[in-house]
Structure 1
Amino acid sequence: MSLNFSQATVLVAGDVMLDRYWFGDTARISPEAPVPVVHVAKVRTTAGGAANVAVNIANLGARTSLISAIGRDAAGEDLTEILETARVNCHFLRADDFQTIIKLRLLARGQQVVRADFEKRPEREMLLPLSDLFTKQSAGHAVIVFSDYGKGGLTHLVSMMEHARRQNKVVLVDPKGSDYSAYRGATLLTPNRDEFAQVTGSWSNEEELERKAFSLCEHLELKALLVTRSEEGMSLFVEGRHVRIHAEAREVYDVSGAGDTVIGTLAVALASGYTLEDAAFLANRAAGVVVGKVGTAPILLEELERAIA
């Protein structure tokens, strides 16, 4: 089946990061400490966080712009180069006193041994220009995605949300934390199972899950809620209905970045005129592809076409 998303326009704002992967083998324990010695044979660098959302969108053939903050450092340059190669229009606030976020993962024999995070939370005042950037860029995009990783990049989200609602934009949010009040009025939230439970509490059956989901939709004035449930697939709550979508993955290797693929695919589909339900089914297929890959790896258009064929 052929898909054409070339007319879709999506603006992404949120926390960007650089994902580095060191791959190698291990055959002995260090004499210095009881840890494995890994001989690194391959290094891979990819876009992470909101940057990965934007790459997913661009890979599907849509036009996308990205707003975020990065440091004036080597990691920021590497991330910008990756994004420009992927045809993402970058609108970055570059700051001398800010460190581009890096997540470094060391893998041996296909298993993650350790992850090291390099990050420094930005000052609130430093990020004020992002609101102006958002106001300038939002007019030319049909759908807005806020990718919140809790790193501070969406410090001024409330004012951005207000502006997006005044423009009657479709607003998708990948949320973080236990307080969702800043996301009030969004079109769709996409928490995973654990994130949703953190906000609403656990549930013992589907009826209780539905009550919690519809209550949250009403409280936050959401049009819909999509809860990704890992091996249980997805649950879309829209217009008083609970739509169950079964998991598609044949083999789950790595769930890193799957949420980015879900919200990116949703955004492209909605910007192309899909209904929320059809967009969710498409996003589920896309997620089923990327969890079969190693590390943060975005969807490709031809992979999605094969998945729905």
Structure 2
Amino acid sequence: MQRALSRAVRGADAVIVSDYGSGVIDASMMRKALRRAGRRKPLVFVDSRYAMLSFKGMTATTPNESEVEAQLGVTIGDNLKALERAGRMLVKKMRVETVLITRGSRGMALFQPGQRTEHIPIVGSDEVADVTGAGDTVIATFALALAAGATYREAAHLANHAGGVVVMKRGTATVSRVELAASVAAEGDAAEVFGG
């Protein structure tokens, strides 16, 4: 498994580590693969349900609020000060470039060292059909946008739109380019998404 991971990392622009606690890939395997990648290291995005804090030094993490609460032993809810402390603590403990916390109907919060926290409201309706796979959609869109040259802010807004589209569908769903563009246009969010 380590050899396959190292080969995949070596040729990638971005890598998403989805760790659901099954033990297939852990933080030490990822660090070893990155050392073997040489000078051209990919962007690494982490979604780890139970071991988020062990993935230190990666590019970004996109936990949901309940994962943050469980990892840090805090309660956030509607308390923006608690959210701020938790987001800043993750940035510091994980030594990542950014933390994007998904908050369900409360939207998202983007944390970066030395930057003000950006609170991103949900797009579309808050009457969700199914949240299955929404986190995967968010991290995939966030990673792809950053690998294509977007800023963290632009990537977060685009990921917010992608997540907003898939939660309106039943079951595990995907978002098409057309659906994503329509969501951005409908919300008048082009400046945030495309840096205009």
Q: Same fold (TM over 0.5)?
A: yes
Q: How far apart are the structure 2 equivalents of 1:162 and 1:238?
A: 25
- SS of the residue 1:297 aligns to: coil
Q: What is the deviation of 1:157? A: 3.4
- Match status 1:254 vs 2:138: no
SS of 1:219's partner is helix
SS at the partner of 1:298? coil
Question: Could you list the per-position Cα deviations for residues 188-231 of structure 1 after superposition, in whole angstroms to 9, with x for gaps in the alignment?
Answer: 11110111110121136212221221122111211111110000
Distance in 2 separating the partners of 1:258 and 1:269: 16
Give me the whole-angstrom Cα distance separating, in 1, the residues matched to 2:160 and 2:86: 22
Name the CA distance, whole Å, in 1 between partners of 2:181 and 2:157. Answer: 13
Tell me how large the CA RMSD over aligned residues is.
1.6
8 Å contact kept, 1:164–1:171 = no
- Higher relative CO (Cα under 8 Å, sequence separation at least 6) belongs to 1
Give the structure 1 partner of residue 120 of structure 2: 245
Contact kept in structure 1, 2:110 and 2:153, CA below 8 Å: yes
Structure 1 position 169, deviation (Å) = 2.0
Q: 2:109 aligns with which of 232, 235, 240?
A: 235
Aligned to 1:173: 46
CA shift digits 1:156-203 (9 cap, x unpaired): 4312234326543211011111x4332111111111011111012113
Structure 1 unpaired stretches of 5+:
1-129
Correspondence for 2:99 among 225, 244, 255: 225
When the two structures are superposed, what TM-score results if normalisation uses the length of structure 1? 0.55
Over residues 229-261 of structure 1, what are the superposed CA-to-partner deviations in whole Å (9 max), with x where a residue is unaligned?
Answer: 000000000133210000113131000000010
Q: Does 1:286 align with 2:162?
A: yes
Where does residue 159 of structure 1 map in the other structure? 29
1:149 lines up with 2:20 in the alignment: yes
SS state of the match for residue 17, structure 2? Answer: strand
On the 8 A contact 2:130/2:169 being kept in 1, the answer is yes
**Counterparts of 1:211 and 1:283 in 2: how far apart (Å)?**
23
Amino acid aligned to 1:160 = M
**Distance in structure 2 (CA, Å) of the matches to 1:180 and 1:268:** 21
Q: What is the CA deviation profile of residues 256-279 of structure 1, one whole-angstrom value per residue up to 9, with x for unaligned ones?
A: 000010001011101100011100
Quote how far apart the aligned CAs of 1:139 are.
1.9
Residue 227 of structure 1 aligns to a residue whose secondary structure is strand
The CA distance in 1 between the partners of 2:124 and 2:71, in whole Å, is 27
Larger strand proportion, structure 1 or 2?
1
Separation in structure 2 between the aligned mates of residue 255 and residue 180 of structure 1, nearest angstrom: 21
- Structure 1 position 211 matched with structure 2 position 82: no
Q: Distance in 1 between matches of 2:21 and 2:110?
A: 24
Give percent identity, aligned residues only. 38
Whose Rg is larger?
1
Q: Which runs of 5+ in 2 are unaligned?
A: 186-196
1:255 counterpart SS class: coil
**Paired residue for 2:192?**
none
Number of aligned residue pairs:
178
1: CA distance, partners of 2:157 / 2:34? 26
